[in-house]
Structure 1
Amino acid sequence: MNMIRRRVMSTRIMDYDFSGMNSEIRISIIGKKGIDIKMKKMLVVYYSWSNGNTKKIAEQLANKTGADIVRIETAEPYSGSHEDVVEQGKREVEAGFMPQINPISVNLADYDVIAIGA
């Protein structure tokens, strides 16, 4: 797999109404500084265990920007209650464990801007 090295910038998308979402909104944009995302080919990549807020925000961002969208899925899906999965995730982060993910159906090199949400 070809690795693409690009600068990562964190930004807040202030023009979009994410009201009613009960979570912190953090969107990372991978691309060139000062890029006009409306003029570039954009991809929204997201991971959402429960298909909740992150999925909704990713869909809204894709709809508002005309971006393509793809979901990251773990090879072995998490199971259990929300609390169980959160605790498992904390343990994995502390241990430096990175779960295997399924390949995504797009070529990242085809995009000028990639927004990642998790």
Structure 2
Amino acid sequence: MMIAFLTVGTMGLSNTSLGYLNYPTQVIFKCCKLIPVMIGGVFIQGKRYNLTDVSAALCMSLGLIWFTLADSKVAPNFNVTGVMLISLALCADAVIGNVQEKAMKLHNGSNSEMVRFFLYY
């Protein structure tokens, strides 16, 4: 039930953010999903990441900040509300992936079982 709620939440927040952001900005944010997924992995699953993974996430964060600051000067429809909505959508995405992975490890499930679950429900 939690995964379904988060899936609806991430889709709704992502679609709503388009009312405040231009499409390229939303795509850049969605491409940076790695950052919240890694943070969620640390807190939800207790994962540890090596220096290369952390460096890649930091470079992506700096690129995202740079793009967002540049976009706020160029694009007339840039809005902080849109950034907050897309950020919440990414946080929900991070929780979904980590909760699914944790459940699959806990119950020895396969990827095909998770896909079948979503196809039937």
Q: Which has the higher strand share?
A: 1
Is TM > 0.5 for Structure 1 vs Structure 2? no
**TM-score normalised over the length of structure 1:** 0.29
**TM-score normalised over the length of structure 2:** 0.28
Q: Which has the higher helix share?
A: 2
Q: Which has the higher contact order (CA 8 A, sep 6+)?
A: 2
